[in-house]
Chain A
Amino acid sequence: MNRSHLANGVGLLLLAIAFLAAGLRILHRERAEADAGVTLRLAHWQLESGMREAFELIARDYEALHPGVRVRQIPIPERIYSNWSTTQLIGGTAPDLMQLGFGSTSESANITRYFHTLTAAVEEPNPYNRGTPLERVPWRNTFLDGLESAYDGRLFEVFGVSPVGASLRLYYNRSLLRRITGSDDPPRDYAAFERLAGLTAEYARQTGRAVVPLAGSRYNAPFLMNQLLSHQCQRVGTELNPLARFPASPEYLYLGMLDGRVPLRHPALEAGFGLMREIALQCPPGFMQLSRDDAMLLFVQQHALMVMSGSWDATGLRQQAPFEIGVIATPFPSADHPRFGRNPIGPVADSGMVGGVGLIGVTRASRHPEKALDFLRYLTSRNANERFSHASGWLPVIDGVPPPEFMRAFMPRTSGFPNGPSLRWGNDTVRWLDTHLHHLFAVSGSVERFISVAEDSLPAALRSDLERDVRNREASVRRNESSVEAARQLLALNPSDAALLRKREEMVETQNETEANAAYLHLRLTHATPR
């Protein structure tokens, strides 16, 4: 036997062993599932501390209520979720429940092909709310946002619900703050933040410790910078809104920048860029090259006093940090700030929630779609949501559920004025920013230098994003028009279908609104000339 035959034989043998092992594994799983009666599999990418534990807790609770049903979670790392979920969905081997949002689970055509709609189900009360004040309330209205964040505006359907909400806050090291300032008081506004940054730098000099005020990274720093820039654009954003005295959305800021109403040297933008530069100078050198994990490590190792992040990091930070953590809202400049007090209208109110975090849908591959839907109802019932929120350390989403003590600071601020538009909208503008912000952030950079560069090349990016936005809106109208006609025809066949009637009305309404907004943006764009 020559060498190549031997190599082929060994290769085939290995392949056969691998095939056999995989087959046995699948057989074992199917047998175990068959023994358990019904097994519901739930795939998600929320690997943050607390989430898997919370899913386990609720799964065990559900199993206790439903003997014969087993719930198994399949945590998949975020970076491979897109490929993994696509393979499972196309292969027909998808689990019963899947988190939506990446790859195949984010595209309209795939969602309808692979997931059941929950639109009709969310109009019915959640049976697991029996005996609570939400007993008779339609499931959708038991959510804090009325499921607005779960509504798929492209398809006019709800495909998933989520057990958690999220918000952005500034975390700080309480003991380090005490050592630096001799006080427990965190900075409540930007002036206090500036003072604290100065004291931190002084502390680092005096003690020789490597401590910076902010653990910035390309992931974390933009959260804070974006909020501060938006705050500076509160007033000008409101002036750009012809419909109501509230800030317009970013596309109207971009139009204003293109048609000369808001030049790059507008005081609001200059001040916003100035704030961004000041924040950058409080971060470690080269922070835009650092990752989210680098920033968290800096904070946990006490090389940074503060870090901006979402509520999703709260449990992990609490577990890893060998110190007490405090949480505050963004320290915005107050009205009496000498440099940054004139452009904002006031303190920022937020809805507090980043909606639609981790929506979970029922796949068409599920052998037990009714059971899977039932588990979703349980997961988002008032009692289960309270247990989930406390176990995970994430914000609750159901009306009346109190957040865990530590999460109170993450709940929505209920006073103030909405934040303004910013420049973190549209692929081309964000890309332009990411490749040109060094003119602003570098020690040798400046606001003046950044604006000079921006005047040359930013308008093209703004225009490109606006044109794409108009095209996307028009494409959405075209795509959904057939569905509107289909709903009209199906309604003619079954005029008593109240859910379909409602859906059709919503579709018609949304279509007309989307199309009118696209037409208006198009008109404005034809009059806007890049400066």
Chain B
Amino acid sequence: MAPRVPVPSAPARRRIAALGLAVGGILAAGAAPAPAPETLVREGWEALALVRANDARRLFAGVPDDAGSAARAARLGEGVALLNVQPRSERNLERARRLLNALAAGPADEIAIAARYHLARIDHVHSLRPNLDAAEASYRALLADHPGHPLAEQAAPKLALLVVYRSSEPDLVESRLRELETLAARLVDPSAARDTRLLLAQAALRLQGNHARAVALLRPVLEQATIARSNRRAEAWLIFAESSAALGLTGDAVRGYRQFLLETPRDARAPEVTRRLAVLGFDPLPPP
């Protein structure tokens, strides 16, 4: 006698069929094509732009190493995202370092330059034990290896603030400011040139009280109108005006005060700036 095979009841059969359909559905969904590597990379950057580092890292990590140029972009994204993954840990920083070192050792393209820049930033600000000498050397090397490159030149303001605020010893300050002024004059990228000059002008005033140096550094920045934020523009015009007034450069002082008032007429300093213009014998606005 053949063994009796148990046969499920009708309702049970329906349940099994429904389960089968559900499992099939899930498997079918799982088999749907994965997003293209380029899409993952773009979504990763979009997440990182919104400071969602964990989401960004997951998206970048989803790009396989054999995805061509998207893979290099994804590894850069992953490395940069790791710098912001919380909690900040030496382990994450080390993984970021490994990823970025591998990219920097590859072809000297945009990705490699970006990787070198971020490696310098790890030594400067991200590491739990910053290595300022290493950061300085990396910034200098980046600038020397890629003169005129917009991203490489972003190292210039970082180098400037790192070097100039490391000591207040007068001789050192003077020699460093001089060297960095020369560097600023060579920069091609407008935003790198702008920020390097602006921060050197402030350093000249803070560490030396040197109005002439501040005016010389601020003048090209203000004339090229490269400052993006209106309140920062107003601030720069005011410093320019004040230093010009201290040097007896009345025309520049008047121009600076007027521009300040144009940029930020409701600032609490506006009434006093108007008074200072009057002391110089001028109105807030030039005659039509």
Which chain A residues have a beta carbon within 8 Å of chain B's beta carbons?
108-109, 112-113, 144-146, 148, 155, 242-246, 349-351, 412, 414-419, 474, 477-483, 485-490, 492-493, 502, 505-506, 508-510, 512-513, 515-516, 519-520, 522-523, 527
Contact = CB atoms under 8 A, between A and B. Distances in A.
Interface in B155-179: 157-158, 160-162, 165-168
Contact of A509 (B51, B84, B165, B195): B195
7 smallest A-B Cβ distances: which pairs? A519-B165, A486-B48, A505-B228, A486-B49, A512-B195, A112-B50, A244-B242
Taking chain A's interface residues, is the majority helix, strand, or loop, or is none over half, making it mixed? helix
Contact of B52 (A112, A419, A487): A112
Contacts of A245: 242
A520 B208 CA distance: 13
Contacts of B84: 478-479, 481-482
Given A350-B268, A490-B49, A477 B77 contact: no
Taking chain B's interface residues, is the majority helix, strand, or loop, or is none over half, making it mixed? helix
B199 A485 contact: no
A252 to B, nearest CB: 10
Interface in B137-194: 151, 154, 157-158, 160-162, 165-168, 191, 194
A509 B56 CA distance: 24
B278 to A, nearest CB: 12
A477 B114 CA distance: 17
Interface of B: 42, 45-46, 48-53, 56, 73, 77, 80-81, 83-84, 88, 110, 114, 118, 121, 125-126, 151, 154, 157-158, 160-162, 165-168, 191, 194-195, 198-199, 202-203, 205-206, 209, 227-232, 238-239, 242, 266-272
Contact of B166 (A148, A509, A512, A523): A523
Given A349-B272, A508-B154, A523-B166, A474 B125 contact: yes
B51 A108 contact: yes
A477 B267 CA distance: 26
Contacts of A349: 268-272
A513 B50 contact: no
A244 B238 contact: yes
17 contacts: A112-B51, A148-B231, A244-B238, A244-B239, A351-B266, A481-B80, A481-B83, A482-B80, A489-B45, A490-B45, A509-B227, A509-B229, A512-B157, A513-B195, A515-B125, A515-B161, A516-B202
B268 A145 contact: no
Contact of B191 (A144, A509, A513): A509
Contact of A113 (B52, B194, B267, B272): B52
Nearest to B156: A512
Nearest to A157: B50
Contact of A487 (B49, B118, B151, B195): B49
A412 B272 contact: no
Contacts of A509: 191, 194-195, 227-229, 232
Contacts of A481: 80, 83-84, 121, 125-126
Given A242-B209, A485-B48, A509-B191, A519 B80 contact: no
Nearest to B209: A242
A412 B83 CA distance: 44
A109 B126 CA distance: 19
B51 A479 contact: yes
A418 B269 contact: yes
Given A417-B272, A481-B83, A509-B227, A515 B158 contact: yes
A382 B51 CA distance: 34
Contacts of B48: 482-483, 485-486
B73 A489 contact: yes
Contacts of A519: 161-162, 165
B266 to A, nearest CB: 6
A11 B123 CA distance: 61
A475 to B, nearest CB: 9
Contacts of A508: 154, 191, 195
B137 to A, nearest CB: 18
Contacts of A144: 266
A510 B266 CA distance: 22
A474 B161 CA distance: 13
Given A146-B230, A515-B158, A523-B166, A482 B266 contact: no
A490 B161 CA distance: 27
Q: Which of A112, A477, A486, A487 has the most CB of B within 10 A?
A: A486
A188 B191 CA distance: 49
B162 A482 contact: no
Given A486-B80, A509-B228, 14 more contacts: A112-B50, A242-B205, A242-B209, A246-B269, A246-B272, A418-B272, A478-B84, A479-B51, A481-B125, A482-B48, A482-B83, A508-B154, A515-B161, A516-B161
A482 B229 contact: no
B231 A416 contact: no
Nearest to B228: A505
Contacts of B230: 146
Contacts of A112: 50-52
A523 B191 CA distance: 25
A144 B114 CA distance: 40
Nearest to B241: A244
A206 to B, nearest CB: 42
A483 B228 contact: no
B283 to A, nearest CB: 16
A514 to B, nearest CB: 10
Nearest to B81: A482
A477 B238 CA distance: 25
B244 to A, nearest CB: 11
Contacts of B165: 516, 519-520, 522-523
Contacts of A414: 270-271
A259 B162 CA distance: 23
Contacts of A478: 83-84, 88, 125-126
Nearest to B49: A486
